[in-house]
C-alpha cells in the first residue's frame, strides 16, 4: 500500500462569530495502492484540497493517521509532491532552472542530466531557455509537472491542475498526463470536481460527498482513456458517467 488514510478527523474553527466550527472529515479512510492512479471527485467545498494538503503534510488531521510508504506523514517531503492549479513558476528563471529548482535546494551542484531528460519527457526541450511567460498555459503546467517529476516522487498529488486551462488544452493535458503515467507508473492522486476528467484520467474514481467529507462510492474506470475518440458512443463510459452523476446527486 502506498498510502493509507486511516480514520482521520479534521475540523476548522469558524474564523469569526458568524462562522461555526466546520467538521470537514469525521473518521475518513482511503487506501491507495502503489502505482495506482486515483481521482477524487467531489463538489466544491467537500474537503478535497484539505485531504490533499494533509497527505502532502501541509496540514495535520486532528485525529487519525496518514501513513505513506510505511511511515507516518508528519510534514512535507519530496517523496510526495504537489501540482497546483496555478503553475507557480519563477518568472525570473528560465524553464530549465525552474525545473531544476527543487534539486538545487537539495544540493548545490545540479546534475543537469535528469533535468534535461524530464524536459524531453514533457516535450519542452526546445523551450529550456525560455522564460515561463513566453509559454502557453498548458506548457507552463507541463513545466510545473516536470519540476515535480524531477524530484522522482513516489506520489504525485494534483489539485485540479488543469482547471484553469481552456477545454482544448485541458484535453491535451489529460492525454499527456495519462500517457506519462503509463510510462512512469508513479502513484497519482488527482483531485477534480469534473466528472469526465475523473473518469478519463483515473483507474479508480472515488466520489466524495460533503459535511462531513465521505466516500459516496467508487468507480472502476480502467477501461476508459482520454485518448479515445468515440467516448460518447462508449457504453461503459456512459454507464460510469451516469453512476457518478447519480452518486453526486444523492447528496442531501
Ligand atoms: N484554512 C481553513 N480555515 C477554515 N475553513 C477552511 C480552511 N480550509 C478549508 N476550509 C473549509 O473546509 C471545507 C473544505 O474545503 P476544501 O478542502 O478547500 O474543499 P474543496 O477543495 O473540495 O473545494 C470548506 O467548507 C472550506 O470553507
Ligand atoms: Mg479545492
User: In the structure, which protein residues have their CB atom closer than 6 angstroms to any atom of ligand 1?
Assistant: 12, 15, 22, 24, 42, 44-50
- For atom 4 of ligand 1, the residue with the nearest CA is 12
Query: Residue 19 has what pLDDT?
Result: 65
114 and 132 assigned to the same domain: yes
216 and 239 assigned to the same domain: yes
Q: Is-contact 97 89, C-beta < 8 A?
A: no
CA of 47 to the centre of ligand 2 (A): 7
pLDDT at residue 16 is higher than 90: no
Range of the domain at 212: 3-79+153-249
Assess whether the previous peptide bond of 212 is cis (omega < 30° from 0).
yes
> CA 140, CA 93: separation in Å to the nearest integer?
13
To test the ligand 1 pocket, which listed residue (26, 43, 49, 161) has its Cβ within 8 A of the most ligand atoms? 49
222 and 100 assigned to the same domain: no
pLDDT at residue 251 is higher than 70: no
User: Cell triple for residue 165?
Assistant: 486551462
Which atom in ligand 1 lies closest to the alpha carbon of residue 15? 4
Q: Percent of the chain beyond pLDDT 70?
A: 97
160 and 227 assigned to the same domain: yes
Identify the residue with better confidence: 172 or 43.
43
136 and 206 assigned to the same domain: no
Strands 214-220 and 37-41: unpaired
72 and 159 assigned to the same domain: yes
The predicted-structure confidence for 28-66, as pLDDT tens digits, reads as follows 999 999 999 999 999 999 999 999 999 999 999 999 999
200 and 134 assigned to the same domain: no
Query: Cβ of 159: how many Cβ atoms within 10 Å?
Result: 20
To test the ligand 1 pocket, which listed residue (13, 22, 84) has its Cβ within 8 A of the most ligand atoms? 22
58 and 94 assigned to the same domain: no
163 and 173 assigned to the same domain: yes
CATH number at residue 42: 3.40.50.300
Domain assignment of residue 244, yes or no: yes
245 and 204 assigned to the same domain: yes
Amino acid at each position: 500500500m502506498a498510502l493509507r488514510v486511516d480514520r482521520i478527523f479534521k475540523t476548522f474553527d469558524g474564523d469569526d462569530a458568524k462562522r461555526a466550527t466546520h467538521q470537514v472529515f469525521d473518521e475518513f479512510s482511503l487506501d491507495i495502492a502503489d502505482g495506482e492512479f486515483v481521482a477524487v471527485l467531489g463538489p466544491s467545498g467537500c474537503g478535497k484540497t484539505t485531504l490533499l494538503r494533509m497527505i502532502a503534510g501541509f496540514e495535520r488531521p486532528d485525529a487519525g493517521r496518514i501513513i505513506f510508504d510505511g511511515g507516518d506523514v508528519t510534514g512535507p517531503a519530496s517523496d510526495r509532491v504537489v501540482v497546483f492549479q496555478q503553475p507557480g513558476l519563477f518568472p525570473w528563471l528560465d524553464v530549465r532552472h525552474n525545473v531544476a529548482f527543487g534539486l538545487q535546494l537539495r544540493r548545490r551542484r545540479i546534475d543537469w542530466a535528469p533535468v534535461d531528460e524530464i524536459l524531453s519527457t514533457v516535450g519542452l526541450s526546445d523551450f529550456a531557455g525560455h522564460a515561463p511567460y513566453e509559454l502557453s498555459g498548458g506548457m507552463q503546467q507541463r513545466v510545473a509537472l516536470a519540476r515535480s517529476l524531477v524530484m522522482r516522487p513516489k506520489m504525485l498529488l494534483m489539485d485540479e491542475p488543469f482547471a484553469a486551462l481552456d477545454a482544448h488544452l485541458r484535453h491535451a493535458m489529460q492525454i499527456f498526463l495519462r500517457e506519462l503515467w503509463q510510462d512512469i507508473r508513479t502513484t497519482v492522486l488527482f483531485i477534480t470536481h469534473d466528472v469526465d476528467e475523473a473518469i478519463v484520467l483515473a483507474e479508480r474514481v472515488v466520489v466524495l460527498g460533503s459535511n462531513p467529507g465521505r466516500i459516496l462510492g467508487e468507480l472502476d474506470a480502467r477501461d476508459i482513456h482520454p485518448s479515445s475518440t468515440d467516448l460518447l458512443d462508449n457504453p461503459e463510459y456512459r454507464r460510469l458517467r451516469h453512476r457518478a452523476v447519480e452518486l453526486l446527486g444523492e447528496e442531501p
